[in-house]
Amino acid sequence: MMTIEEAREAIRNGEIVIYPTDTVLGMGCNPFSQIAVDKLFQIKKKQNKGLSVMLNNVKKIYDYCEVNRTYEKIISDLLPGPITLIMKSKREFAKGVTKNGTIAIRVPLNETANDLARDIPVITTSANIHGEKIAENIKEAKIIFGNNCYYLEGEKPTGIESTIIDLSTNKPEVIRIGALYS
């Protein structure tokens, strides 16, 4: 197993890391590296654009997303936690990360995940082949992804995906009911 410092270095170097979040095992990479994002899409067999980006601090949302006054309360009430917020992006990420000018943002309630995203944002998508069952633990993830990824141990996820709320329009909309409402 690798240390948190080694995992951060792997992310900076364009590698894919599988790690625990507060919800499910995540797999991620540097959201600004086109090579890393393309590799993630290939490994995951994902074809649709749009990935979540994990931050380690709620205040950083303002650096990456457009936030209006209406949504400030939603952000402060729900994050950190098992929520993914879809918001208008203020930054350019590697192609495939954003979708129609929006970015999905997570700030997990998980020390390992937050530590991983301490220096730079990290892609956070479920550790599975797209459309298939999510790996329940690192051992299962290694069977699925083998040497294509690095693996970071940490707190055990709940096993329930995040609730997704779209804040990119004038009216908030729950896209997926997940861990927040379980």
Chain segment 73-125, per-residue pLDDT in tens: 999 999 999 999 999 999 999 999 999 999 999 999 999 999 999 999 999 99
**Cβ(149)–Cβ(141) below 8 Å:** yes
Using an 8 Å Cβ cutoff, are 37 and 94 in contact? yes
Sheet holding 17-20, edge to edge: 125-126, 25-28, 17-20, 150-151
Compute the distance between CA of residue 13 and CA of residue 152 in angstroms, rounded to an integer: 16
Count of residues in the chain: 182
What is the average pLDDT value for the chain, to the nearest integer?
Answer: 94
Q: Is the pTM of this model over 0.85?
A: yes
| Residues 119-178: tens digit of each pLDDT | 999 999 999 999 999 999 999 999 999 999 999 999 999 999 999 999 998 889 999 998
